[in-house]
Amino acid sequence: MTVMIPAAGLAAALAPGTPAAERPVVLDVRWQLGGPPGRPLYEAGHVPGAVYVDLDEELAGPPGAGGRHPLPDLEIFGAAMRRAGVCLGRPVVVYDGGQGWAAARAWWLLRWAGHERVTVLDGGLPAWTGELSTRTPEPPEGDFVPAPGGLPVLDADGAAALARDGVLLDARAGERYRGEVEPIDPVGGHIPGAVSAPTLENTGPGGLLRSPADLAARFEALGVGPGTPVGVYCGSGVSAAHEVLALASAGVEAALYPGSWSEWTAQPDRPVATGPEPG
């Protein structure tokens, strides 16, 4: 599955002469956990024509028992996409500041909500060599209406079952998986049976996604074989979306557990494993 677009490919798609129906809608979703707000960065310079979308407000619901970044209200998400000019049959390209996590969250949400023509700018904005714009565009209203079901989703019980009967990948840093440190959630460790698979290992130099062959070999070494049911979680469902994207690039469909560790640890009766082994 083609999930990434190189900067040169995006530049070509945005060039004069591209038919309107094939000219991609570009979404700037710059966000970083604990980092500066994305909108001032967008206003300082963005890919020409790109529309800013706020991850916390439009790509996630309010934090609570469902985790720090639960799935957004469909009305809010749909309205944000239509405001940006997203139409069902027209390609969409999303980018962030280079880490890839926020862009993957937008990619996953659009794919889950029924849009099939979505790609992520490989390397994010740092890979873009064209001009930047400070103009805020006002595109025509799009027609996209979310229709969930395009990608599989796990709840807490489903994640626990998959850890027993398939492969559940933990996309957080290894030290958080092992329970050696937990800077955000109340409990350290991992879902019993989950396999450590840090998202940062999906990318190479310049933040570019590793090749499909490299990714396939990586996930095979983690136990992902033909026909293996696969799911992914992280802290709050953002970096795990990047793991789902990487798996898709390698030809593997994986389910996302949106609530992830922040939801799991909000339920005191849920078991926790620590150490380097799945447990």
Q: Which residues pair with 52 in a beta bridge?
A: 28
Give the 3-state secondary structure of 162-180. HHHHCEEEECCCHHHHHCC
Q: Spell out where 51-179 has E strands.
A: 51-52, 92-95, 118-121, 167-170
87 catalytically annotated: no
Question: Six-digit token pair at 15?
Answer: 């060039």
Check if the beta carbon of residue 208 is closer than 8 Å to that of residue 9: no
Alpha-carbon gap, residue 12 to 101, rounded angstroms? 24
Task: Say how many C-beta atoms besides its own lie within 10 A of residue 179's C-beta.
Answer: 16
Catalytic residue among 29, 60, 151, 234: 234
Q: Which residues pair with 203 in a beta bridge?
A: 209
Q: Which residues have CB under 8 Å from 247's CB, separation 6+?
A: 215, 219, 224, 230, 232, 253, 254
Q: Which residues pair with 28 in a beta bridge?
A: 52, 95
Distance of CA 188 to the CA centre of its chain: 23
Residues that are catalytic = 234
